[in-house]
Amino acid sequence: MSVDATPDPYADQLAFGQRLKILRTRRGHTRDQLGGLVGRSGSWVRALEEGRLKVPRLDTVLRLAEALRVRDLGELTGDQSSPPVGLFAGPRHPRLGPVKAAIDTWSLADTEEAPPAEHLAARLAAAWSARHSAPDHRERIGALLPGLIQDARRAAVQAETPADRRATQAALSEVYSLAQFFIAYQGDVSLLWRVVERGMVAAQDSADPHTIGVAAWLAAQAHRDSGPGHFDAADTVTNDVLRYLTPMLPDAPDKILAITGALTFEAAYTAARRGETGTAWRHWDRARELADRLPADYFHPVTSFSRGIMGAHAVTVAVELHAGGESVRQAGLADADTIPSRPRRARHRIEEARAYHLDGQPDAALATLAKAHAAAPETIKYNGYAKRIVLEEAEAKSPSRRRRASALAVQLGILAA
């Protein structure tokens, strides 16, 4: 290796601190940023990197791995016997290959006629219904996506009038939105960003405010989940589209109110990740005001935004601010039964579990994760926060807690039976 080459953090001879420094640098974190994400100081991170502190306990290693988005713990520890679990990259779904092939294929000689717009719309509606109602939602939408992608592209290419072109671009953007839900947390970052960018381009070409809002909502999430170095990009997308939508609000239909509310909550979420307590709750309050303007039974089909979701959103804000007591208080106020979407309900249960874990209630956290698994196994299986809690408690001092955590780890496929 030349003297100018970047060291490989996976080489066996590197110490834990060296691996930590290389992975931190690659993720674009400063020491203060990484320390803040795990509740420590920048000087503590420096001491670890320089080898002045010994390798921390498993729970802390898991938090570092979570913040660095490493694929497996062994990449950080150098220990090949570490659990082969990708904390923020779940197992690749068997249907990822066909979905990727459909996204990557551009057939210029395709002469097959596109389906009627009504037929495509009905298939999209069925796919969203499966997304929200099926416990194996990734399996269901993964089976539908290749055909939807191909037919939505055909429709966009074959559109003859400006109005038809805008409508087909809106449908294509919606298909990419559905694809992003399927692809998320499967470790194929380049594929995820191709889908995000194509969804945004198609949304802009549609000139439809709701479609643009949905694409921006998903793009903001992709930026935020890429780490602190991308928080500004998440805010830029969110704020630009909020400025575009806000003048429409006085007489807006429900779906415009809902996507504006969902984007406003995204601003709260990013502020909470930054640790900006006042800003996060101010955005949450604004999102709640928008939710209160919606009918009591309204539920946005993509973002799940509704009156009932605001309690779950409050738990997320408190958890991201690392406020254990407030997180548990908000969890007690939220009603999971008001969330009709199974994967979104499971996600809320995971956030509740994080709240209990932050508050030093590991048994309650494990019980809540079991509820998440019952609601939607394919949601918790791909969630890094859930896996971190389970792995940490699988090494707890309490024998009964170890057994419960280990049994859940087996269900999630992160430990062998």
> For 102-114, what is each residue's pLDDT tens digit?
999 887 777 889 9
- Does residue 179 form part of some domain? yes
Which of 16-25, 56-65, 186-195, 251-260 has the weakest average pLDDT? 56-65
Query: CA-CA distance, 36 to 367, in Å (whole number)?
Result: 28
Claim to verify: residue 171 and residue 238 sit in the same structural domain: no
Q: What is the pLDDT, as a whole number, of residue 80?
A: 55
**Chain centroid, CA 104 distance in Å:** 23
In a domain, 178, yes or no: yes
Instruction: Name the domain count of the chain.
Output: 4
> Which candidate, 341, 333, 343, places its Cα nearest to that of 313?
333
Region 135-146 average pLDDT? 94
* Listed range (244-253, 324-333, 403-412) with the worst mean pLDDT: 403-412
pLDDT of 151 > 90? The answer is yes
Kindly state the average pLDDT of the residues 232-251.
97
**pLDDT tier at 219 (50, 70, 90 boundaries)?**
very high
pLDDT band at residue 7 under the 50/70/90 scheme:
very low
CA distance 187 to 219: 17
27-31, 117-121, 270-274, 297-301, range with the lowest pLDDT: 27-31
pLDDT at res. 188: 85
Handedness of CA 24, 30, 32, 38 (dihedral sign): negative
Give the domain CATH number at 36.
1.10.260.40
Helices (H), 184-308: 189-206, 209-224, 231-245, 254-274, 277-292
As to burial, measured by CB atoms within 10 angstroms (0-12 exposed, 13-18 middle, 19+ buried), residue 52 is: exposed
**Upper half-sphere CA count for residue 155 (Cβ side, 13 Å):** 25
The pLDDT of residue 5: 41
Residue 60's pLDDT band (cuts 50, 70, 90): confident
Backbone angles phi, psi at 80, to 5 degrees: -70, -10
User: With 70 as the cut, is the pLDDT of residue 399 above it?
Assistant: yes
Residue 56 is assigned to a structural domain of this protein: yes
Where is average pLDDT lowest: 2-11, 25-34, 270-279, 294-303? 2-11
Residues 63 and 102 in one domain: no
Lowest mean pLDDT among 26-40, 159-173, 224-238, 343-357: 26-40
User: Is the Cα dihedral 319, 320, 325, 329 positive or negative?
Assistant: negative
pLDDT at 1: 34
Backbone angles phi, psi at 92, to 5 degrees: -70, 125
Q: What whole-number distance in Å separates Cα of residue 325 and Cα of residue 315?
A: 11
Q: What is the mean pLDDT of the chain?
A: 90
Q: Are residues 227 and 192 in the same domain?
A: no
Residues 234 and 200 in one domain: no
Asked whether residue 7 is domain-assigned, the answer is no
Q: Is the pLDDT of residue 168 over 60?
A: yes
Q: How confident is the model at residue 417 (pLDDT cuts 50, 70, 90)?
A: low
pLDDT tens digit string along 73-103?
Answer: 778 887 755 555 555 666 789 999 999 999 9
Backbone angles phi, psi at 59, to 5 degrees: -60, -35
Whether 150 and 113 map to the same domain: the answer is: yes
Read off the pLDDT of residues 34-46 as tens digits, 9 standing for 90 and up: 888 787 899 999 9
Q: Are residues 148 and 197 in the same domain?
A: yes
Region 353-362: mean pLDDT is 95
In a shared domain, residues 122 and 196 = yes
Please check whether residue 82 lies inside any domain of the structure.
no
Which of 23-27, 102-106, 261-265, 392-396 shows the highest mean pLDDT?
261-265
291-341 pLDDT, tens digit per residue, is: 999 999 999 999 999 999 999 999 999 999 999 999 999 999 999 888 999
Last-in-domain residue among 177, 207, 237: 207
**Is residue 213 a part of any domain in this protein?**
no
The mean pLDDT of 123-137, rounded to a whole number, is 92
Confidence (pTM):
0.83
Domain, as residue range, for 252: 223-293
**Secondary structure class of 79 (helix, strand, coil):** coil
Question: Are 154 and 186 contained in the same domain?
Answer: yes
Residue 181 lies in a domain: yes
Q: Please determine, for residue 177, whether its predicted confidence score (pLDDT) is greater than 80.
A: yes
- Place 6 in a pLDDT band, splitting at 50, 70 and 90: very low
Would you call 164 helix, strand, or coil by DSSP?
Answer: helix
Q: What angle is formed at CA 32 by the lines to CA 25 and CA 56, rounded to 5 degrees?
A: 80
Amino acid, res. 199 = G
CB-CB contact of 369 with 349 (8 Å): yes
Q: Give the position of tokens 């009603």.
A: 335
In a domain, 84, yes or no: no
User: Are residues 275 and 374 located together in one domain of the fold?
Assistant: no
Q: Please enumerate in sequence order all residues whose Cβ is within 8 A of that of 3, keeping only pairs 6 or more positions apart, or say none.
A: none
Q: Are 203 and 241 in the same domain?
A: no
Q: According to the model, what pLDDT value does residue 11 have?
A: 42
pLDDT higher than threshold 50 for residue 12:
no
Please answer whether residues 413 and 391 qualify as being in contact, where contact means their C-beta atoms are separated by less than 8 angstroms: no
Average pLDDT over residues 5-30: 72
* The two three-digit tokens of residue 412, written as one number: 């999630």
User: What pLDDT, on a 0 to 100 scale, did the predictor assign at position 15?
Assistant: 85
Q: Are residues 322 and 415 in the same domain?
A: yes
| 101 and 64, same domain (yes or no) | no
Where is average pLDDT lowest: 1-5, 119-123, 133-137, 142-146?
Answer: 1-5
